[in-house]
């Protein structure tokens, strides 16, 4: 299953590490929801989940960043280049 990320909530900053929740939809089933980033990270790691953001007609993969210090967070990468798609999403 792949979910499309459609909105982000940030707290205490303006960087990827400050994204706390994401709003998503499953285009296959029509299901929608909001999840904490930690829950999406666990779903990707443990259940082989996939997430993406639309960039025009292209899908950009959401990947896990594992910093040396601090919690894991999410960021998009297309063709090997890190992108800011999650930061450009509407806020909720």
In 11-85, the DSSP E strands lie at: 19-25, 32-36, 50-55, 58-65, 73-78, 81-83
Query: Is position 92 within any domain?
Result: no
Query: Is position 37 within any domain?
Result: yes
Contact indicator for 8, 76 with CB cutoff of 8 Å: no
Query: Is position 41 within any domain?
Result: yes
Q: How many domains does the chain have?
A: 1
Query: Is position 70 within any domain?
Result: yes
pLDDT in tens, 1-45: 899 999 999 999 999 999 999 999 999 999 999 999 999 999 999
Identify the domain containing residue 8 by its residue range: 2-87
Round to whole Å and give the CA distance between 88 and 60.
Answer: 13
pLDDT in tens, 40-84: 999 999 999 999 999 999 999 999 999 999 999 999 999 999 999
Per-residue pLDDT at 1: 81
């Amino acid at each position: 299953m792949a979910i499309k990320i459609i909105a982000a909530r940030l707290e205490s900053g303006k960087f990827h590490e400050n994204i706390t929740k994401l709003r998503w939809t499953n285009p296959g089933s029509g299901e929608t929801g909001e999840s904490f980033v930690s829950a999406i990270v666990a779903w990707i790691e443990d259940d082989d989940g996939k997430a993406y953001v639309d960039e025009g007609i292209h899908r950009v993969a959401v990947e896990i960043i594992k910093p040396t210090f601090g919690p894991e967070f999410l960021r998009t990468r297309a063709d090997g280049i890190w992108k800011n798609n999650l930061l450009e999403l509407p806020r909720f």
